[in-house]
Structure 1
Amino acid sequence: MNMPRLKALALLLVLLLVLLLQACSTVKLAYNQAPTLLYWRLDSYLDFNDEQAPQVRESLQRLQLRHRREQLPRYAELLQRVRPLLAEPITAEQACAIVEQGRSLLGELAEPALDTLAWLAGDLSAEQLRHLERKQSTANLEWKQKWVDIPAEQLASLRYEQVLSRSEMLYGSLDEAQKNAIRAGLASAVFDPQRSYAERLRRQQDLLQQLRRIKTEQLAPEPARALLRAWLQRVMISPDPAYQRYQQAQIREGCNTFARLHSATTPAQRARAQQTLKSYEDDFRQLAAAA
């Protein structure tokens, strides 16, 4: 769950929009397919054998059922609290307060996933760990080519288009003044792709070390779970104080950008944003009721 996930929060609701799947018309379809999609994603990294595959599928189904019951209602409640705020201008401080609530919900996803799949760590072969390392290397090369090995102007354009797309998911089409609000927010961006890439590598090597230790020492389930829990904590909060400051600066920057853009929106756009969140909220409640 590289939820990667805690990458730069360029907008207040980017966290929610990413966390809570895709555009509202596809939320339920995507959510219902999530165990299958996640299985294939994991399999591409770990190459499950014939005995592991059905156990992983069953584990992911149980995880989703638990998520329906325990997490989706809380997502709906958060959106219900956020909606009224979007009727008026919002401050960066208000935006960051909501981001922190979203981060808290993300953190709560870790423990159920750990409980569900911790058994797998002790069952991985040496070849599967080598396969994981090769897959990570390939993914890292792609990430580096997209974000690091490009001119500064191309990076700025890529980030602008990304934020614009997510903004228009919420508000609908933006006019030029509103697009300039996004450009202004990104003009002094603290985003450093090389620093983000270095942290990505650190997390991956950390994971490989923990998995190899579990295998080499043939750890029992609870000590293995403790190692993985500590790794997840280091994913959520980097052990590098400089990176912690960088991550917090990205979050503050995202809050400022969102506040600037939201203040530039029209009453009709704010009403659309509220309705977008209401659609998400309704979908989450319906999905939770189906548990």
Structure 2
Amino acid sequence: MRASSPVRTALCAATLAACGLLLQGCSTIKLAYNQVPHLAYWQLNSYFDLSETQTDRVRDELGDLHQWHRGTMLPRHAELLQKVQQQLPSAMSPDQACRTYDAVRTQLDKVVTQAEPKLVWLATQLTDAQIRNLQKKQASSNADWKEEWVDLTPDKLREQRFKQLSSRAETFYGTLDEPQKAALRAYIAQSSFDPQRTYAERLRRQKDLVQMLQKIAQDRANTEQARTLLRGYIARFNTSPDAAYQRYAQTLVQEGCEGFSRVHNAMTAAQRFKAVQSVKGYEQDFLVLAAQ
């Protein structure tokens, strides 16, 4: 539910695919992971309409990043999933859930750090027309996001969240029964999630991205300045300069950990076993992919 950035989306595609967050089964991972450079390029091109020269360099850079991720990060993802498997058969506390969340974020941040030189180069190559194209894409995606999350009655919003979260849970645990559905609905009913507030931060981040790229465009030869501006943007993306939003975001994270704990603890032994098997499948696929 976090506001997204086309740059971060593209660069984190490898980690998202590798972690299985967008996948529906272990058999899909190998095929999807090997398509990550193409997916990341498609994301960037859809926002910036890359030139032929830019395309050649971006494809090469994404291929290099993908190979680094395969050899460096996939074994770390597998190691993390081994720890998760050990926890899943038992009840889990909110603190345990948050520690896993923090570990995933740390691994994701390593991908962004590795990609930084590639991002700096791309940012210095973007034309004014490409930045305007980005703004058009932002406006289009915002209209879709508002329709999906903001322009809903409270009841429809709760049902939308339940549909999304239950689908994700069933990917790992299998079919949810009434006790698990009740735990999930209780979490959603008590959630502090505010679509308007999240949407406002989404707009702030998008404006911040455009302003950063426009500043870089004023002196494209100044690579050091571009690097400083990019790092500032990423820092503000991760931690909003709005103190009130920082508190809101931290509340959502804490509630998410508590919600996961509540729903997981409502699972039967058979459902937890299914989750262990699902995660083990991801782990094994990661190790196979890392060795390729």
TM-score, structure 1 normalization: 0.92
**Residues 258 and 16 (structure 1), Cα distance of their counterparts in 2 relative to 1, 3 Å cut:** farther
Query: Is 1:234 equivalent to 2:245 in the alignment?
Result: no
- CA distance in 1 between counterparts of 2:187 and 2:287 reads 34
- CA distance in 1 between counterparts of 2:204 and 2:17 reads 23
8 Å CA contact 2:20, 2:29 repeated in 1: no
Who is 1:34 aligned against? 36
8 Å CA contact 2:18, 2:33 repeated in 1: no
Greater relative CO, 1 or 2 (CA 8 Å, sep 6+): 1
Residue 224 of structure 1 aligns with an amino acid whose one-letter code is: A
Residue 179 of structure 2 aligns with an amino acid whose one-letter code is: A
Who is 2:280 aligned against? 278
Who is 2:12 aligned against? none
> Which one is further off, 40-49 or 103-112?
103-112
Query: Is 1:256 equivalent to 2:258 in the alignment?
Result: yes
- CA distance in 1 between counterparts of 2:7 and 2:21 reads 9
- CA distance in 2 between counterparts of 1:77 and 1:68 reads 14
Deviations 1:181-216 (A, max 9, x none): 100111111101111111111111111111111111
Deviations 1:123-151 (A, max 9, x none): 11111111111111111111111110111
Who is 2:159 aligned against? 157
Who is 1:9 aligned against? none
- CA distance in 2 between counterparts of 1:39 and 1:215 reads 21
Query: What SS is found at the alignment partner of 1:170?
Result: helix
- Listed as ranges, the matches of 1:43-82 within 5 Å are 43-82=45-84
| Cα distance, 1:5 vs structure 2 | 11
- Listed as ranges, the matches of 1:1-291 within 5 Å are 2=4, 19=21, 22-290=24-292
Residue 211 of structure 1 aligns with an amino acid whose one-letter code is: L
- CA distance in 2 between counterparts of 1:15 and 1:191 reads 26
TM-score, structure 2 normalization: 0.92
8 Å CA contact 1:107, 1:236 repeated in 2: no
Who is 2:11 aligned against? none
Gaps of 5+ in 2: 9-15
> Which one is further off, 59-68 or 100-109?
100-109
Query: What SS is found at the alignment partner of 1:71?
Result: helix
| Cα distance, 1:2 vs structure 2 | 3.3
Query: What SS is found at the alignment partner of 2:220?
Result: coil
**Residues 233 and 17 (structure 1), Cα distance of their counterparts in 2 relative to 1, 3 Å cut:** same
8 Å CA contact 1:59, 1:117 repeated in 2: no
Residue 284 of structure 1 aligns with an amino acid whose one-letter code is: F
| Cα distance, 1:115 vs structure 2 | 1.8
8 Å CA contact 2:120, 2:227 repeated in 1: yes
Deviations 1:18-47 (A, max 9, x none): 657553221111110011111111111000
- CA distance in 2 between counterparts of 1:22 and 1:125 reads 38
- CA distance in 2 between counterparts of 1:18 and 1:130 reads 33
**Residues 180 and 92 (structure 1), Cα distance of their counterparts in 2 relative to 1, 3 Å cut:** same
**Residues 88 and 82 (structure 1), Cα distance of their counterparts in 2 relative to 1, 3 Å cut:** same
Who is 2:13 aligned against? none
| Cα distance, 1:92 vs structure 2 | 1.0
Query: What SS is found at the alignment partner of 1:87?
Result: coil
- CA distance in 2 between counterparts of 1:185 and 1:46 reads 39
Count of matched residue positions in the alignment of Structure 1 and Structure 2: 283
Query: What SS is found at the alignment partner of 2:274?
Result: helix
**Residues 17 and 23 (structure 1), Cα distance of their counterparts in 2 relative to 1, 3 Å cut:** farther
Residue 280 of structure 2 aligns with an amino acid whose one-letter code is: K
The alignment's C-alpha RMSD in Å is 2.1
Query: What SS is found at the alignment partner of 1:122?
Result: helix
